[in-house]
Amino acid sequence: MIDIKKLDIKMANKHLIDGDFSAVELAENCIKNIQEKNLKINAYLEIYDDILKKAAEADDKIKNKKDISILTGIPLALKDNILYQGKRVTAGSKILENYTATYDATVIKKLKEEGAVFIGRTNLDEFAMGSSTENSAYGVTKNPYDMERVAGGSSGGSAAAVAFGGALAALGSDTGGSVRQPASFCGVVGLKPTYGAVSRYGLIAMGSSLDQIGPIGKTISDVEIIFNAIEGNDKMDSTSLFENRRQISGKDIEEKSIGIPSDFINDGIDKDIFENFNDSIKKLKSLGYKIKEITLPNIKHSLAVYYIIMPAEASTNLARFDGVRYGLRKEGADMIGDYFETREAGFGIEVKRRIMLGTHILSSGYYDAYYNKANAVRNVIKYDFYKAFSEVSAIITPTTPAPAFKIDEKSNPLSMYLADIFTVPVNLTGMPAISIPSGIVARGKAKLPVGLQIIAPHMREDILFNIGRDFLAEK
């Protein structure tokens, strides 16, 4: 019996190369864990029917030592908003319940070339709109640490799948914290790369200037390996960065210097999270890091700016789902009636809320007052971070203001949006950030993981990996 929960990608690769077990056996053990646990957790929406065939192909490559990489034969989970040719993809919505992808996302193409084995598609908040995976049309994903609590969102299925041993690692997408927050809630590592570092081609868009595909794994090494496999320029994505645009500007800062925006962190944070954060600071100091107070005067506006820009972009992106070309179709009295009936039946409450908000923001008379002003403030926030990174090499915050909350606890949308307070500034500025496990807090009988967020300048994922490795004592 292979203990998936104790394996990371490096370890699994060594065992596969040494012949201790096969890729087929590794995949079979993932499937066994899924069969035992997924019915209660609901991390996976579908297990692909060709897993063992793909694993056998990986075994042949390993045996013949041909076209192999560290990811050959490694079982990965896939968030259900990333296109995998010939497979269903729903984005957690009824409006796409029978849609089959007609092409591979660039990240899928790259991972296929590496020989990775895709286990299945994981649950998410509908069209990635949410922080709890409660908004999925296909049921809530529960937290493997406490079934009464959420796994986080919107990549809750991916994080939960890795946490319970349903895959060695997973892909998610992060628009306002959707990789980092569920990683924190589920006790795993989640990376949001620099905007443009990873192609978005084949990702079902929510907020086009905010979305970024990112890996979830058990270790820093896991996410670094996957990031290295999927990053790079893509001619199919005009926002992906060329090498000459990825050079770091500004003066070099000592890598062991870390900034803390204390005035921002002190507000509305759970007592246990605050204590854990202070413990993390002490640990970093003991590892030789210099901790410096910094000021980000406009970061307090991030949440308001995000919830103007994101729904505006989402309402535009979701206009294509009309029942005419693909997906759900409902008959109305006429063509416009078809359109209304289809969208009414196909979209959930949260998606409708954000479409209406975004449409209002972009409407005549309000565009300048809301959308243009939000973009202006976004640039001011970017500049605040630029100045901070002239003094320190990284910035740390808690990943979330509280540990995983109970299912149905946050019925008020505003209270749910506030859960993103530490993660959304990273998406607004396009910087990379990572959430790493930083400890456990108690809630009654439940022992819940919490995370530390590390933020670095553009294209400096290496800083995130180095600090994360030190903190987690990874070799």
As a dihedral over the C-alpha atoms of residue 362, residue 365, residue 368, residue 371, rounded to 10 degrees, the angle is -20
**Which alpha helices (DSSP H) does 347-372 contain, by range?**
349-361
Residue 380 to residue 384: CA distance in whole angstroms:
6
Does residue 297 fall inside a structural domain?
no
Residue 422: inside a domain, yes or no? no
What is the domain count for the chain? 1
Q: Evaluate whether 108 touches 234 at the Cβ level (below 8 Å).
A: no
Q: Residue 96 domain-assigned?
A: yes
Q: Which domain holds residue 25?
A: 4-244
268 part of a folded domain = no
- 304-340 pLDDT, tens digit each: 999 999 999 999 999 999 888 888 888 888 888 888 8
pLDDT at 293: 97
- Judged by DSSP in three states, 236 sits in coil
Q: What is the CA radius of gyration of the chain?
A: 21
Asked whether residue 162 is domain-assigned, the answer is yes
With the CA atoms of 282, 275, 452 and 391 taken in that order, what torsion angle do they form, in degrees rounded to the nearest 10? -50
Which secondary-structure segment (H or E) carries 33? helix 23-41
Residue 117 in 3-state DSSP?
strand
**47 domain residue, yes or no:** yes
User: CATH number of the domain that 164 lies in?
Assistant: 3.90.1300.10
The reply to whether 14 falls in a domain is yes
| Catalytic residue IDs | 79, 154, 178
Please report the pLDDT score of residue 242 as a whole number: 83
Give the residues of the chain that fall short of pLDDT 70: 243-254
Burial class of 332 by CB neighbour count within 10 A (0 to 12, 13 to 18, 19+): middle
Confidence at residue 252, expressed as pLDDT on a 0 to 100 scale:
53
Work out the angle between the directed axes of helices 220-230 and 106-114 (0-180°, nearest 10): 110
User: 206 in a domain, yes or no?
Assistant: yes
